[in-house]
Amino acid sequence: MTETESNIRIFATCDIGREALELLRARGYEVEVYDQLEPPPKSLIIEKVRAGIDGLITTLRDPIDREIFEAGKGTLKVVAQNAVGFDNINRADANEYKVPFTNTPEVLTEATAEFALLMLGAVARKLYPSEQLVRENCWGAWHPYLPFLGDEVTGKTVGVIGMGRIGQAFVKKAVGFDVNLLCYDPALTPADFLTGVREEMDLRYRNGFSPGRQTIRMTSFEEALSGSDFVSLHVPLIQEGKFSTFHLINEKTLRMMRPTAYLLNTSRGPVVDEAALAKALKNRVIAGAALDVFEREPLPQDSPLRDPELLDRVRLFHHFASGGRITRLSTDPKRGMAGRCVQSLIDVLEARGNLASLPAIVNKEAFR
């Protein structure tokens, strides 16, 4: 252990995983954890940062902005976010104060994509109403179509909004359901990936695994909405500016969707205008929605999405898409968020040389 490492102090706003935090202690870091279920008040984070910590471990629940960076002026060397999304961190403020921040991409890609696909199945095939029927002893008799039917997934068309890591992983898994895919991304056309998917679709058809030859193509946002039976969101939350995704799904864009279509959101809550969505669901503008993320989390008691009238067509989850055991807790930085988060923190704190070349850092632009 070097002199510097033995003096490094970390504050974690949450217990992101005991074993991973132990890895820091094993290096001689002093680690304090806010060991409560609820996030700490911002004033406490400021107090800890002002006391001179070197590294701050955060989750998506912590607003990290100018106030925090000002408190850590001259001492705070890194913010390590235990999530891939970092919309809670003000990037411009981090850059102004020249504080690098890291996130946990890749390790949660498969878990999040698989959850989106499972949510799709849950809402389309009415898993919750079916279980409810059995549990409440309301399953009168087997009947060809009563008390309700679900919608099949196989052979349908799925719109994928955002073709980054999770969007592509979602596509790879959806191919097994023999769906057609309409993909939209304003900044990315993953040509090799699309070629690979087409080859796999052709192979499935040639081998008789798939009853038809399925297709995938990049398209406009409008067509991805209007041409799909399911629309799955995989975009980052960008609050403002030309590339804003805030309320990307709103009253107008919901009307572009088919009345038989379902919306799936595992991205961030504010990407969807929830009031507009609840209204659209009530008026049958679309058929249903499965949501893992919300404009306010935890979902408020008075949210219109809780309307009992919508119970048969809305599935609600507790920001759980990345919530697999390995994904959340593995100490391996290639497999788990906790491992990736602490490794990124170490990478920055023990970096020698130019920070702009460190892969772990999100806001590299501040160090060029």
Of the residues 166, 174, 345, 349, which one makes contact with ligand NAD according to CB under 6 A: 166
- What are the φ and ψ backbone dihedral angles of 279, each rounded to 5 degrees? -65, -45
Nearest-approach distance from CB 89 to ligand NAD, in angstroms: 12
∠ CA 364-366-368 to the nearest 5 degrees?
A: 75
Nearest-approach distance from CB 188 to ligand NAD, in angstroms: 4
Specify whether 204 is catalytic.
no
- Binding track over 266-285 against ligand NAD, x by CB under 6 A: xxx-----------------
Nearest-approach distance from CB 352 to ligand NAD, in angstroms: 28
**Region of 248 on the Ramachandran plot (φ > 0 left; ψ -120 to 50 alpha; else beta):** alpha
Tokens 């290639």, residue? 334
Name residues contacting ligand NAD, limited to 12-41 (CB under 6 A).
Answer: none
- Which residue's beta carbon is nearest to the bound ligand NAD? 164
Q: 210 or 363: whose CB is closer to ligand NAD?
A: 363
Nearest-approach distance from CB 100 to ligand NAD, in angstroms: 18
Q: For ligand NAD, how many residues bind (rule: CB under 6 A)?
A: 33
Terminal C-alpha separation, the chain = 30
Of the residues 23, 56, 84, 349, which one makes contact with ligand NAD according to CB under 6 A: 84
How is 233-283 classified by DSSP, letter by letter? E------SSTT--TTSB-HHHHHHS-TT-EEEE-S-GGGB-HHHHHHHHHT
Of the residues 58, 82, 90, 112, which one makes contact with ligand NAD according to CB under 6 A: 112
Distances (CA, A) of 27 to 5, 17, 23, 223: 7, 16, 7, 53
Given 204, 268, 328, 340, the catalytic residue: 268
**Residue 271 corresponds to which tokens in the numbers above?**
């990407």
Number of C-alpha atoms within 13 angstroms, CB side, residue 95?
11
Of the residues 10, 20, 99, 163, which one makes contact with ligand NAD according to CB under 6 A: 163
In what side-by-side order are the strands of the sheet with 55-58? 30-33, 9-12, 55-58, 78-81, 101-102
d(C-alpha 224, C-alpha 228), whole Å:
6
Specify whether 136 is catalytic.
no
Q: Does 82 bind ligand NAD (CB under 6 A)?
A: no
Nearest-approach distance from CB 242 to ligand NAD, in angstroms: 10
d(C-alpha 309, C-alpha 288), whole Å:
12
Q: Does 81 bind ligand NAD (CB under 6 A)?
A: no
Nearest-approach distance from CB 228 to ligand NAD, in angstroms: 14
Q: Does 100 bind ligand NAD (CB under 6 A)?
A: no
Name residues contacting ligand NAD, limited to 298-327 (CB under 6 A).
Answer: 319, 321-322
Q: Does 230 bind ligand NAD (CB under 6 A)?
A: no
Task: Measure CA 37 to chain center.
Answer: 20
Q: Is the peptide bond before 100 cis (omega within 30 degrees of 0)?
A: no
Of the residues 52, 176, 186, 212, which one makes contact with ligand NAD according to CB under 6 A: 186
Q: 165 or 335: whose CB is closer to ligand NAD?
A: 165
Q: 166 or 281: whose CB is closer to ligand NAD?
A: 166
Specify whether 268 is catalytic.
yes
d(C-alpha 213, C-alpha 218), whole Å:
17
Of the residues 26, 134, 141, 187, which one makes contact with ligand NAD according to CB under 6 A: 187
How is 19-32 classified by DSSP, letter by letter? HHHHHHHHTT-EEE
Distances (CA, A) of 289 to 15, 169, 191, 199, 272: 32, 20, 30, 31, 11
Q: Does 329 bind ligand NAD (CB under 6 A)?
A: no
Given 234, 313, 319, 328, the catalytic residue: 319
**Region of 107 on the Ramachandran plot (φ > 0 left; ψ -120 to 50 alpha; else beta):** alpha
Instruction: List active site positions.
Output: 268, 297, 319
Which residues of the chain form contacts with ligand NAD (CB under 6 A)?
84-85, 105, 108-109, 112, 161-167, 184-188, 234-237, 243, 245, 248, 266-268, 292-293, 319, 321-322
